[in-house]
């Protein structure tokens, strides 16, 4: 064979971007943190009658889902490899190809599609949003997570990846709209202490949540960060968004009786009167 045909005989180079030791350790550590947080939140609910446990139930479920998802990822489940082909054109020789095989932990998106609606429910109930606005915020949120999952597996060099990402960002703006605009307007009907608390915890949520699409863009999108770096970044955000958020919410709920909501009906059915 002539020298020019050699490149096509050699296999294209493949860059394997996989989880390493630090990533694995981080996944296990966060699993344990989520487990402890779930136990603490469940224990905090024992001191209140069942009718008043809605925030406890929602918040404990959030960390339980996260613990399950982190167990999956730490043991090597809930992960797939995204095969990316990068084509390089040259002037006088045939195009060459580089391949990247990067792990995508899809278990995250399963976690987020269940936990972010529950986090929104916590905030919506605190603000006193009506059912219609809660439903729209949650549906926009689920669209955001699922289109984000499609973006994570989108092909390079087609509108797939960044197209899905853009759609997810629009859905995120709808979520923010419901939380920041409608939530803030609605919470004014509650006591000023509740309004102040909602302002703080919703502001915290907005900052933490907005870091997710930024991490995604740098790590998954542009692949400027290793898989381990991505795991560590999401670990920090997940701890802020779930255990820290939950502890703040439940501790404040315990000392601010104005945050109680009258659920009645199904929630208290058969639980006995006052
Ligand atoms: C993605 C990528 C596509 C664009 C956008 C995203 C937003 C994700 C968010 C995730 C929040 C997760 C939380 C987890 C709890 O622990 C899917 C990353 C907008 C906002 C709060």
Give 75-89 pLDDT, tens digit per residue: 999 999 999 888 888
What's the mean pLDDT in 230-235? 98
Judged against a pLDDT cut of 60, whether residue 6 lies above it is answered with no
**pLDDT bracket for residue 105 (50, 70, 90):** very high
What's the mean pLDDT in 165-191? 95
Lowest mean pLDDT among 25-29, 151-155, 241-245, 270-274: 270-274
Cα 106 versus chain centre, distance: 11
Question: b/e map of 163-192 (b: 16 or more CB within 10 Å)?
Answer: ebbebbeebbebbbebbeebbeebbeebee
CA–CA separation, 48 vs 34, rounded Å? 22
What's the mean pLDDT in 4-14? 68
Retrieve residue 27's tokens: 């996944």
Judged against a pLDDT cut of 90, whether residue 12 lies above it is answered with no
The DSSP call for residue 74 is H
**pLDDT bracket for residue 50 (50, 70, 90):** confident
Rg (Cα) of the chain, in Å, rounded?
A: 23
The tens digit of pLDDT for each residue in 53-64 reads: 999 999 999 999
Q: What is the residue-averaged pLDDT of the chain? A: 93
Lowest mean pLDDT among 5-14, 130-139, 222-231: 5-14
- Smallest Cα–Cα separation from 84: which of 17, 171, 38? 17
Per CATH, the number for 8-263 is 1.20.1070.10
Cα 71 versus chain centre, distance: 16
The tens digit of pLDDT for each residue in 239-267 reads: 999 999 999 999 999 999 999 988 878 88
Residue 190, phi then psi, degrees to nearest 5: -95, 180
The structural domains of the chain, with segments of one domain joined by +, span 8-263
Is 144 touching ligand 1 by the criterion CB < 6 Å? yes
Judged against a pLDDT cut of 90, whether residue 155 lies above it is answered with no
Contact 59, 246 (CB under 8 A): yes
CA of 24 to the centre of ligand 1 (A): 21
Lowest mean pLDDT among 95-104, 192-201, 226-235: 95-104
CA of 168 to the centre of ligand 1 (A): 9
What's the mean pLDDT in 182-190? 94
Which atom in ligand 1 lies closest to the alpha carbon of residue 217? 2
Model pLDDT, residue 263: 81
Is 78 touching ligand 1 by the criterion CB < 6 Å? no
What ipTM was reported for this prediction? 0.98
% of the chain residues with pLDDT over 70 = 96
Retrieve residue 7's tokens: 């490149």
DSSP element (H, E) containing 68: helix 54-74
CA of 142 to the centre of ligand 1 (A): 10
Which atom in ligand 1 lies closest to the alpha carbon of residue 242? 16
Pocket test for ligand 1, best of 212, 243, 245, 249 (most atoms within 8 A of CB): 212
What's the mean pLDDT in 4-9? 58
CA–CA separation, 66 vs 61, rounded Å? 9
């Amino acid at each position: 064979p002539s020298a020019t045909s050699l490149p096509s005989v050699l296999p294209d180079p493949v860059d394997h971007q996989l989880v390493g030791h630090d990533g694995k350790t981080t996944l296990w550590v966060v699993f344990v943190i989520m487990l402890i947080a779930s136990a603490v939140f469940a224990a905090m609910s024992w001191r209140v009658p069942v009718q008043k446990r809605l925030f406890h139930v929602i918040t404990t479920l959030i960390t339980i889902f996260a613990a399950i998802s982190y167990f999956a990822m730490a043991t090597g489940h809930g992960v797939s490899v995204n095969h990316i082909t990068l084509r390089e054109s040259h002037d006088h020789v045939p195009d060459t190809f580089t391949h990247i095989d990067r792990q995508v932990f899809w278990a995250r998106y399963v976690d987020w599609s269940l936990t972010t609606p529950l986090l929104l429910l916590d905030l919506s109930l605190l603000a006193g949003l009506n059912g219609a606005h809660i439903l729209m915020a949650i549906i926009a949120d689920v669209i955001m997570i699922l289109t984000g999952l499609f973006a994570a597996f989108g092909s390079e060099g087609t509108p797939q990846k960044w197209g899905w990402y853009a759609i997810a960002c629009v859905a995120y703006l709808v979520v923010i709209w419901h939380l920041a605009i409608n939530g803030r307007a609605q919470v004014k009907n509650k006591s000023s202490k509740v309004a102040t608390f909602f302002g703080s915890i919703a502001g915290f949520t907005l900052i933490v949540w907005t870091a997710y699409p930024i991490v995604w863009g740098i790590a998954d999108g542009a692949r400027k960060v290793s898989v381990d770096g991505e795991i560590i970044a999401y670990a920090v955000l997940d701890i802020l968004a779930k255990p820290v958020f939950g502890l703040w919410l439940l501790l404040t709920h315990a000392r601010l009786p104005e945050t109680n909501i009258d659920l009645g009906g199904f929630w208290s059915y058969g639980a006995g009167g006052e």
